[in-house]
Amino acid sequence: MCHRIFPLLGGLFYFFAFGISNPLSAQTLSLSVGASAGYAPLLTYGRSDRSGGEIALFADLEYGKAIGRFQFTYLLPGTVANDNLKSGYAFHGSLGYNAPVTAQLSVPLMLTGGVSIVRFTAFGSAGTFTDASPQIGLTVSPYYKINDQIALQLALRYIHGFVADTRSDPIHLADALIGIRYTL
């Protein structure tokens, strides 16, 4: 599977590096940080399909119409109907195209990759176990600028997990988050 993904990522790198930037127009670099909360209607670990609430911290770096994001997401274990789940969190990076719709509204479309990590107790076993799953997916994250610094942001993500080891299970995630972002 990896041998099919890396050529795709290389092609995307060239598209974003050379296809988006226009040397004749002025390009601006901006950094935004934000926080969001939401719901994950699809949270699959192995054969267990669950849902639950989550919170996230993120940072966006924009240059022209290219956008990159780093996001930390924490699953709120008390909202998941599973007594065996102790904690869940994820680190994801995204790269994509920021499509401006109006002066205030933009819709970034991004490829997302990263890892999700869960801590759980196994049935009939003492102790806590940890499992991680590499992931790749898609993020659509429109935001509406209230002013030059503050924007309301929505993120819709589907992230597909892969098996990392013979003793692990893939973690799949689909979520919707709403939050606020501040441009520095």
Q: Where are the domains of the chain?
A: 27-183
Residues with Cβ within 8 Å of residue 36, at least 6 apart in sequence: 55, 56, 58, 153, 155, 177, 178, 179, 180
| Size (the chain), residues | 184
Distance CA 10, CA 16 (A): 10
- pTM for the whole structure: 0.78
- Summarised one tens digit per residue, pLDDT across range 120-173 is 777 666 677 788 889 999 999 999 999 999 999 999 999 998 887 777 788 888
74-121 tens-digit pLDDT:
988 878 776 677 788 899 999 999 999 999 999 999 999 999 988 877
Nearest to 67 by CA among 91, 38, 100: 100
User: Is the CATH code 3.30.1280.10 the one for domain 27-183?
Assistant: no
